[in-house]
Structure 1
């Protein structure tokens, strides 16, 4: 159930996590693409690509709280991997 104070990004992330059970993963861009034009405007964006840095930041916050795992090339990233160290596509799944 979505938190009424949650941002549209958080709401969509939660929905993806609830519908994709491990080991299924999703790409953060799927979350960005799911945002409506109105939701993009609330994030100060005109298109989904503009919110990708924010989506990745929210994913990292969730990872730091132990809610999700972040994978790259099929491998779960080490807990001490920072967002700045990650180049290229990532996948997300609910923590197991």
Structure 2
């Protein structure tokens, strides 16, 4: 597993992923909604929705490092699918 700079976002993401055994998935919004008001403020945002682009970027980084799989409509996204080309909800799961 690659070591990421510890931020409230990455900490909550790792915690939620560790509680879901594959093939169980999570929605990235669960990570954003898990942050406290103080953590949101420390991230420089007023509400959790503002963090979604950062969370998606982190998830894609983790996917590129072989840690997670990203799914859309129940299908794992191919390795060449970039964050900028995916519109709509995604799910994330630990890679087995």
**1:69-96 deviation line (CA, Å, top 9, x unaligned):** 0000000000000000100000000011
Deviation at 1:7, TM superposition (A): 0.5
Matched, 1:7 2:7: yes
Following the alignment from structure 2 to structure 1, what is the Cα–Cα distance between the partners of residues 54 and 26? Answer: 16
Total equivalences in the alignment: 93
Matches within 5 A, 1:1-96: 5-96=5-96
TM-score by length of 1: 0.94
After TM superposition, the runs of 4+ consecutive aligned structure 1 residues lying more than 4 A away are none
Unaligned runs of 5+ in 2: none
Q: Give the structure-2-normalised TM-score.
A: 0.94
